[in-house]
Each structure stands twice: as structure tokens, then as C-alpha cells.
A and B are shown apart, each in its own frame.
Chain A
Amino acid sequence: MSRHDAVVVGAGLAGLTAAVRLAEGGASVLVLAKGVGATHLSPCTIDVLGYDPEPVDHPRDALRRLVDARPDHPYRLVGADGVAAAIDWFKGCFADGPLSPYAYAGSVDENMRLPTAVGVLRPSAVVPETMAAGDLRAGGEVCVVGFRALKDFHPVLLADNLGRAAGVQARGLELDVSPEDRADVNALGFARAFDDASFRARVIGQLAGRLGAGERVALPAVLGIADPHAAWRDLEDRLGRPVFEVPTLPPSVPGMRVFATLRERLRRAGGRVILNVVVTGAERAGARIIAVRARVGLRDAVHEADRVVLATGGFASGGLELDSGWVARETALGLPVAGVPAPGDSRFRPGYFDDHPIGRAGVAVDGDQRPVGPDGAPAFDNVTVAGATLAGAEPWREKSGDGLSLATGHRAGGLMLAESGAHAGPAAVGMGG
């Protein structure tokens, strides 16, 4: 049985953000998670709000409208200013993180339009510096470069689709360069290769004389994992033009950079992470959780904590479950799940991007992100919920997943620090060296 100021359940963007904030604010923190979260899968662009349902140009304004129209939406908890504060904090994490000077660009005021792996322009607010030149709001000429050995990235398909966007002129080019001349290399394998100047030189060599004067270069998001800033800058300098990354299918190298940055900050601040641990319940004393129970291999472990952050994600990560009898469950603490259609009512609509009745299910919370029951009363006083577990959002339709997880995780950490009397202000940023 261990004792910590805070136990954070979940190691995705929300959980890690809360954990880093708590640890850097002086709390002893233990993160328990079944496995790694969605960082390794999602592009890890901080998409605050992409559609409402039309494409959003100014997320700060759109956020205000969203919160007014949908008082049950979790963005009400943080508001535009809370999102902005979380973004500042997040950028600060990179400033003196292990990948510095790799940085994030953008703000909550404006959405860029960046190409996806299939060449659709999607709205994104805050993105890796290595992606920012892919903002094609004003159109432009793009040469999309892919690699034969990177099987899930199709430059010609991407360019064809991109060419349909207003003012964008795009063409695809596939290179036959791969690490050690291997025939099949995943995104991480390429990223490691791009950390190596001689591999970059091979790529640059193959591009020599093949680029048009006004063309910028799009590459899959594999430009380095140890020192992405150097790899990207080197390519820009030597190709003499803007170069940008386009997110790939999983694994997501930009997401791994985020994971590495937050994980290292947590480590430096003395926080601990245990993976392969399934939280299965809690011990309570009155309205407080005093310990969480976890399944570790063939044993049960008990971890005492003053406070618990629940950031277990939604249905995709197993934080929420819906069984065939329509019974929804929050898997870690057994909290009530709100927004589940009544048995017999339909859960889904036919179209993928339809407004699915089950889509907003999750844990309902009060203004302090404490879980509430059907009567609206807090289920626990010392539990804070963050990220994709929260009820009321539809991240897939809104394009708000990482924005929500970052902002609510950031606030969860701040709320807990404030409550425990520790210093939660901006000065907590940048500590922990």
C-alpha cells in the first residue's frame, strides 16, 4: 500500500497534464494506467474546436457560442481563458523540455487549416512548429513527398485530394529512400532515421532539381524523434523553402514527442508512473476516496491518496464501457455514467459523422469537475475528472479531443493544487528542473 498526495488514473494527455502540474506544484503524484494513452495515436495537434458544425476560424469566439448554446458541454468548465492558459502552459512544457527548442505554434484565437494524411484541410489551433507551414488557408503550391517504405502514407492520393481545396496546387512524389534500405519501415523507424543528418542528406539528394520554385514541401510527420527541431530546420535550410509535416496513421511521432516531453517533466518533478495496472475500484470514507484499488498481474494493490484525478478516456480506451444489456460503466471508480440512451432507444445513427445519441455519454461533473450522480450532487469530494471521460462533448464531430483533454487536465491539476494550498499559479510553470 503506497501513499501519495494524488493518484492520477490514466496516462493520456489529460492524465499526464494533470500529473505534471501537480508534481511541479509540489505534490507527490502516482500515475496508474492500463497502458499508454491516445498520444501515440492522435496527431497531438491541440484542436480546440474545429467544427460548430461549420469549420471554425476563430475558436475563442466559437467556444463562447458553444458554451452558451450547450451548458452541459465540458468546455463550460474551462472557458476560452482556461483553454488559453492551458495552451500557454503546454507550450511552456516544451520550452525547457527534453526536445527543446522543438515548440508548438498557434493560439486559441485562430484556426489554421492543415492537411490530413488523406489531403483534407482540417482546422487546428495549436500545432507543432514542424506542421505550421502546412497552414493552407491562403492556398499555395505544395509538393507532397512520401516514401515507398512508409506504407500508410500516399503522397499522390494526398496531393490529389489537396488539389481540390481552394487555391491549393499540389502534386505527389514518392521517394525510394529508406533506413538501411528496408522495404517496410513504420513512422517511428523513419523518425529515428531523420534524426541522422546523413539520412536527411540522402532525402535532400533525391529531391535536388525536382522541386518547383514556389513549392513548399510536405513530408509525413516523421522528421525526428530525438531532435525534431534540428531535423526540420536542416531540411528547410537545405531545401531553401518551407517544409512541413503531415500527420500519419498511428503510430504518431508528434504524439510520441508530447508523451516524451510530459513524461520527462513528470519524472524530473518526482512523479511516478506505473503501467499495466487496471484500477478497479476505490475505498471510501464518507464522501472521500481514501484509496484506489488496482489489479496488478494476479494481485490486487491498494494505493492511498488524498486526491484522485480520473482521466481514463472514453469508450475507445476502456475508461467507459457499455455492455450488450445497455449498462454503461465507468471502469475505474464505478462512477455514474450520464447521457446513455435508455434501453431500447437507438444508440447510433446511420452516418459516421451523425449526432449519435451515445456520443455524449460520460461522467457528469459539477463546476469543480467533481463527478456527480443523477441528482446532480457530487459523488465524491476529492475526485476530479478530466479528458475524454467527461460527458457532454462530441470530440469526433467537434474536433475538440486534444483541446478538451489538455484544458480539463490542466484545470484538474490546478484545482487540486489550489485546494491543497500549494502554489498553483503561473510560477508553477517551468519548475522541476
Chain B
Amino acid sequence: MAAETGHDVLGELMRGSLDHCVKCTICETFCPVSNVTPLFPGPKYVGPQAERFRVPREESPDASLDYCSGCGICTQVCPQGVQIAEINTQARAKLRKRTGFRLRDRIIARPDLTGRLGTPVAPLANLMLHSRLPRRIADRLLGIDERAPVPAFAGRTFQAWARKHRSPPAPRRVAYFHGCGANWYEPDAGRRTVELLEYLGCQVDVPRGQGCCGLPLQSNGMFEPARRYVRRLTRRLAPSARHGIDIVGTSTSCTLMLKREAREILGLDDDPELRMVSDHVYDICEYLLMLHDRGELRTDFQPLPLTVTYHAPCQQQGHGIGKPALDLMALVPELRVIENDATCCGVAGTYGLKTEKYEIAMDVGAGLFAQIAEARPDLAVCDSETCRWHIEQATGVRTVHPIEILHRAAGLSGPGH
């Protein structure tokens, strides 16, 4: 899958990593999907093994690959550096090119488009999204599982709020990459992020016209539009990066997309604008902890006598930064944080929305859900929005971004929040 623009060195290194596989089966023991369903033979099979048979210009013989959720855990645990999940994502794109893209996948892979369509008619759209009959129809006709969590349109966008907001000058300046989740569905979460960053001494730019990063398209095998999306987004973020302003994001999978995946998987490493943006992107907790490590983070948080669970989503773990949210929450007096011991909640972006995969997603998440239920927390905490929606639906426990905890501890949420 070479980029249109030139020689794809990273892509070759990535595919070449399959030669390092020693068949140790470590990845198989960790794959959350193959551990719950026989429909998926596991990362070693569909990754380094099957890839040898996927010869350019020949049809791939193996469709089970479609059951890989792209969670990336196999790549994380492989001791030989095989980029299994990345190889799978590329192979899936080839497979889909042959089998064609389902209408369903075209829809769920474009959260900005659904957001744009749904927002002006939010009350009606939400009614449809959360009523039985329309969901059943969508299930039968499109293959979007009627039980899967779908977020409600906020009816107003974060961008609209940000356009009116003036961030006061401060010694440090950051740009906020808010992602589709905050823009269309959780504008209050976006606002809280800005408020917290300001409280912590940052002047916050919100670059206009930020669209989708293209990750859902990439996961669903639609590489061409994914490349267009990510390039459009990087054009919006590039001015900040050019001025040396760091870009922080609350959507952990989308920041990973800008950091790595678009360069490695979509073959865009030779795009100078993307590389510049990529070098300046941080997961927000990563960024705040970096400030803390340098002694530059305000830590006079108010006590928060709550019990929360924390789940580090697989995509967050893909950053290779540990669990900065835990260190940040540890700064809050009286907050009791129970770290979940789970790798994946199952939803993996759009995977768990699909009728044929919803039950797999629930089985994958079962261990996590049980831990949360057992802890009986006031809140569950998780960095990724699709995971939060999935966890909330499965457990009934309100699930928030770590930033919301810090926002409260900073005294910004006011009573009654």
C-alpha cells in the first residue's frame, strides 16, 4: 500500500517486520478477539502468517481477517517488533477493496458527516437514534446493531462555543485538537478541556474547521478518503505546529492517528505538513504529566471524595506513554482510583457497532465490565469516547474523560455538577 506520493519506507519496514516473527504465540494469548470467538483465528495467523500469501495483485484468500478489531494489543506485546495490527489494517483495506464497502461502513466511518447532518435536527435525530423501531430497521437493513451505544447529538457544536470564546493570554500556548466526539456529541467535554488548560496556565487556540482525522475510515479499509481527511485536518493544525505551538487532544485514538498511524498505515510519512503536525501532537494527559514532570503543573487541586475506576483504552496504550491519567488523578486529594486490569473494552472504535460483531465486543469487554460493577464506583474514567459510550451502556456507570475529574478537582465544575 504505497502512498501516491512516493516510496513508502515506513510501510516497507512495517510489512518487513513480519520476517521477525518467531511463532512464539505471545500475541495469540493477548488478542482479546480470538480469545472470545472461534471466528477469528488470531493475530499470528492473520498477521505475519497470512500476509505471506497476500501477494500484490493476487486476491487474499482469507476473510477471517475482517474480525480483527484493530485494537493494536498484539503489536504492543510482540517481543520481536512485528507490527501485526498495522499489517492487518492494511490487509483489511485490500480485502475490502475486493469485496466492496458496505453502506453501513461508509456511514459509521464518517462521524463528521453524521455530525453535520444530525446536529441541526438533533432532537429528531436523537429520537430516531434512541427509539426501538428505527434502530431495529437500521440493524436489519444496515447492520448497525440495535443494542450498540450511539451517542446523542448535542445540537450545538464545540466549534461554535470556541468561536465565541476568548482565551486569555498566558505564559504557555497550546492548540486544542478536539476531534469529532467533542465537536458534535460532547461539546461540554471540549469546553471543560479549554477551561482546565486555562486554569493550568495555558492560552488555548482552537484551530477552526477541524474535521475528522480519518481513523474510522482507515479502520474500515477506506484508505483514499482517510488520506483526504487527515490531510485536510493537518492543514488546519499546521499553522499552530509551524509556530512551535504544541497540539493537545482529548481523543486518544485520534491523537495516535496523527502521531503514528497516518504516517505508518496510510503511508503518508513523506507528507511534510503531516510530519510537522505529528511531531507536535500530544495526548492531553501525556502533555499535562510532562508539565508536571518539569515542575510546571499547578497541583493545588481540591479534594474530591469519590471512588472512580480507570481503564486505559487499547488505543491509549498504543501511544507507549504508560498511564499518565493515573499519575494526574493521584494529584487529587481524597480521590480513590481503582485501576482496571483489562486491555480492551471491545468496541474498538466502530467495530462493536456492527451487528455481526456486537456480541464479540460485549464478550471482549465482559471482564472490564465485571471489574467496574464490582468496584461500584461513583464514576468510571476512560480516555477514549467510543469506549466511554460502550462502557457506560454496558455497566450503567457514568463514564468520563480524566480531564473531567481534573476539571472538578480544579473547582471549575461548580456545585451540582
**Which residues of A, 266-301, contact B by the 8 Å Cβ criterion?**
267, 272-278, 296-299, 301
A41 touches B320 (CB 8 A): no
Give the one of B26, B317, B318, B339 with max A CB within 10 A.
B26
A37 touches B278 (CB 8 A): no
A318 touches B80 (CB 8 A): yes
Could you say which of A40, A41, A180, A276 contacts B75, with CB atoms under 8 Å apart?
A276
Q: A256-B29, A298-B260, A298-B264 are in contact. Are A2 and B35 (CB under 8 A)?
A: no
Whether B272 is near chain A, meaning CB under 8 Å from some CB there, is no
A36 touches B259 (CB 8 A): no
**Which residues of B, 14-54, contact A by the 8 Å Cβ criterion?**
24-26, 28-30, 35, 38
Whether B98 is near chain A, meaning CB under 8 Å from some CB there, is no
B79 touches A37 (CB 8 A): yes
Give the one of B80, B264, B293, B320 with max A CB within 10 A.
B320
Number of interchain pairs (Cβ within 8 Å) = 92
B26 touches A275 (CB 8 A): no
Whether A264 is near chain B, meaning CB under 8 Å from some CB there, is yes
Q: A36-B77, A299-B259 are in contact. Are A3 and B321 (CB under 8 A)?
A: no
Whether A213 is near chain B, meaning CB under 8 Å from some CB there, is no
**Which residues of A, 1-16, contact B by the 8 Å Cβ criterion?**
1-3
Whether A188 is near chain B, meaning CB under 8 Å from some CB there, is yes
Whether A420 is near chain B, meaning CB under 8 Å from some CB there, is no
The docked-state distance in angstroms from the alpha carbon of A192 to that of B260 is 35
Q: A40-B26, A250-B25 are in contact. Are A318 and B79 (CB under 8 A)?
A: yes
Give the one of B76, B260, B339 with max A CB within 10 A.
B76
Whether B277 is near chain A, meaning CB under 8 Å from some CB there, is no
Q: A36-B79, A37-B79, A275-B77 are in contact. Are A251 and B26 (CB under 8 A)?
A: yes
- Determine the residue in chain A with the shortest Cβ distance to B81: A34
The docked-state distance in angstroms from the alpha carbon of A427 to that of B54 is 56
Q: A272-B323, A274-B322 are in contact. Are A35 and B76 (CB under 8 A)?
A: yes
Give the one of B28, B75, B260, B294 with max A CB within 10 A.
B28
A40 touches B24 (CB 8 A): yes
The docked-state distance in angstroms from the alpha carbon of A299 to that of B282 is 11
Whether A169 is near chain B, meaning CB under 8 Å from some CB there, is no
The docked-state distance in angstroms from the alpha carbon of A317 to that of B26 is 13
Q: Which residues of chain B are within 8 angstroms of A108 by Cβ–Cβ distance?
A: none
- Determine the residue in chain B with the shortest Cβ distance to A294: B320
Whether A182 is near chain B, meaning CB under 8 Å from some CB there, is yes
- Determine the residue in chain A with the shortest Cβ distance to B30: A36
Whether B137 is near chain A, meaning CB under 8 Å from some CB there, is no
| Tier of interface size on chain A | 35 or more
Q: A297-B260, A299-B259 are in contact. Are A40 and B25 (CB under 8 A)?
A: yes
Q: A36-B79, A298-B259 are in contact. Are A250 and B264 (CB under 8 A)?
A: no
Whether B341 is near chain A, meaning CB under 8 Å from some CB there, is yes
B320 touches A296 (CB 8 A): yes
Interface residues of B, count at CB 8 A: 35
A interface, over-half SS: mixed
Give the one of B81, B279, B289 with max A CB within 10 A.
B81
**Which residues of B, 138-181, contact A by the 8 Å Cβ criterion?**
none
Whether B78 is near chain A, meaning CB under 8 Å from some CB there, is yes
Closest CB in chain B relative to A13 CB, distance in Å:
13
Closest CB in chain A relative to B273 CB, distance in Å:
16
Whether A100 is near chain B, meaning CB under 8 Å from some CB there, is no
B293 touches A3 (CB 8 A): yes
Whether B263 is near chain A, meaning CB under 8 Å from some CB there, is yes
The docked-state distance in angstroms from the alpha carbon of A256 to that of B81 is 20
Q: Which residues of chain B are within 8 angstroms of A188 by Cβ–Cβ distance?
A: 28-29, 35
A1 touches B341 (CB 8 A): no
Q: A188-B29, A251-B29 are in contact. Are A301 and B294 (CB under 8 A)?
A: no
Q: Mark A183-194, 1 if CB is under 8 A from B, else 0.
A: 000101100100
Q: Mark B275-288, 1 if CB is under 8 A from A, else 0.
A: 00011000000000
The docked-state distance in angstroms from the alpha carbon of A318 to that of B20 is 11
**Which residues of A, 25-51, contact B by the 8 Å Cβ criterion?**
30, 33-37, 40-41
Closest CB in chain A relative to B64 CB, distance in Å:
13
The docked-state distance in angstroms from the alpha carbon of A296 to that of B76 is 11
Q: A250-B24, A272-B322 are in contact. Are A182 and B79 (CB under 8 A)?
A: no
Q: Which residues of chain A are within 8 angstroms of B81 by Cβ–Cβ distance?
A: 34-35, 278, 318
**Which residues of A, 232-282, contact B by the 8 Å Cβ criterion?**
250-251, 256, 264, 267, 272-278
A275 touches B290 (CB 8 A): no
Could you say which of A1, A41, A297 contacts B24, with CB atoms under 8 Å apart?
A41
**Which residues of A, 156-196, contact B by the 8 Å Cβ criterion?**
180, 182, 186, 188-189, 192
A40 touches B29 (CB 8 A): yes
- Determine the residue in chain A with the shortest Cβ distance to B289: A2
Q: Mark B1-20, 1 if CB is under 8 A from A, else 0.
A: 00000000010000000000
Closest CB in chain B relative to A96 CB, distance in Å:
16
Q: Which residues of chain B are within 8 angstroms of A1 by Cβ–Cβ distance?
A: 290, 293-294
Give the one of B79, B278, B341 with max A CB within 10 A.
B79
Closest CB in chain A relative to B76 CB, distance in Å:
4
Q: Which residues of chain A are within 8 angstroms of B319 by Cβ–Cβ distance?
A: 296-297
The docked-state distance in angstroms from the alpha carbon of A296 to that of B293 is 18
Q: A188-B35, A272-B323, A297-B259 are in contact. Are A317 and B79 (CB under 8 A)?
A: yes
B25 touches A35 (CB 8 A): no
- Chosen A-B contacts, 10 in total, with CB atoms closer than 8 Å, are A35-B76, A180-B38, A186-B28, A264-B341, A267-B341, A272-B323, A276-B77, A297-B259, A301-B321, A317-B79
**B-to-A contact residues, CB < 8 Å:** 10, 24-26, 28-30, 35, 38, 75-81, 259-260, 263-264, 278-279, 289-290, 293-294, 317-323, 339, 341
* Pairs of residues from A and B, 9 with the lowest C-beta to C-beta distance, nearest first: A35-B79, A296-B320, A276-B76, A251-B25, A251-B29, A297-B260, A275-B76, A274-B322, A40-B26
Query: A296-B321, A318-B79 provided; 7 other pairs, C-beta below 8 A?
Result: A34-B80, A35-B81, A251-B25, A275-B320, A297-B318, A298-B278, A318-B81
